[in-house]
Amino acid sequence: MKAEQEAIPHGDPFALFDAWFREAQASEPHDANAMAVATATSDGRPSARMVLLKGHGPGGFVFYTNAESRKGREIRANPHAALLFHWKSLRRQVRIEGALEEVSPELADAYFASRHPDSRLGSAASDQSRPLDSRATYLARVEALRAQYGGDVPRPPHWTGFRLDPERIEFWHDREHRLHERRQFVRSAGGWTSTLLYP
């Protein structure tokens, strides 16, 4: 079998993520910034869901949510998470693990204000993850807020963002016959080290 050149070189994991993310934005038909976020309760019971990445760089990976939702309550109780990007069109995935911290109120305000007015109304009207007797009840709450604020509803205090500070980043590239390629980056006091992993 002919040896293949490594597709995932050692180097700066943030630069590599940027390159892969740009390619995903060009090739993925929907939401290249969609990622699974896995959290866990204080006693280690996990849950996962899809959210959208709203910022990234050496400072971390940012997403926004209702802090009173299930994920928000789990983050408050156990501020660690794992992220997973799967870009099927590129046959790639990226796994990221680390601690979470809440973004500043100023950053949360700025992002909330950038959203579509209906998205802001929907977020303010939602008791996310809690039981709902009917969809009509939720839509009535949206319309009541629209009547009160128009399209300029303020950010609810429980709606905020979280930044994951990565401790481990793994890049995975699909190869023929499941002879995949994986490289794991681990952060230490001296910077990032990396190693190939068996697929």
Query: Is 134 a member of any domain?
Result: no
Decide if 54 contacts 83 (C-beta within 8 A). no
Percent with pLDDT over 90 in the chain: 86
Backbone angles phi, psi at 83, to 5 degrees: -115, 150
Tokens of 81: 């998470």
Does residue 198 surpass a pLDDT of 60? yes
Query: Is 120 a member of any domain?
Result: no
State mean pLDDT over 5-32: 92
Global confidence as pTM: 0.91
Does residue 3 surpass a pLDDT of 60? no
Does residue 2 surpass a pLDDT of 60? no
Query: Is 19 a member of any domain?
Result: yes
Q: Which residues contact 30 (CB under 8 A, 6 or more apart)?
A: none
Query: Is 117 a member of any domain?
Result: no
pLDDT in tens, 49-108: 999 999 999 999 999 999 999 999 999 999 999 999 999 999 999 999 999 999 999 999
Query: Is 174 a member of any domain?
Result: yes
In the prediction, which pLDDT does 31 show? 95
Query: Is 81 a member of any domain?
Result: yes
State mean pLDDT over 33-55: 97
- Residue linked to tokens 């963002």: 161
Burial class (CB in 10 A: 0-12, 13-18, 19+), 149: middle
Query: Is 38 a member of any domain?
Result: yes
CATH of the domain at 173: 2.30.110.10
Q: Nearest-CA neighbor of 72 among 33, 37, 111, 110?
A: 37
In the prediction, which pLDDT does 168 show? 98
Query: Is 4 a member of any domain?
Result: no
- How wide is the angle at C-alpha 117 spanned by C-alphas 160 and 21, nearest 5°? 60
| Domains held by the chain: number | 1
Q: Nearest-CA neighbor of 31 among 79, 70, 74, 63?
A: 63
Which range marks the domain in which residue 24 is found? 13-109+160-197
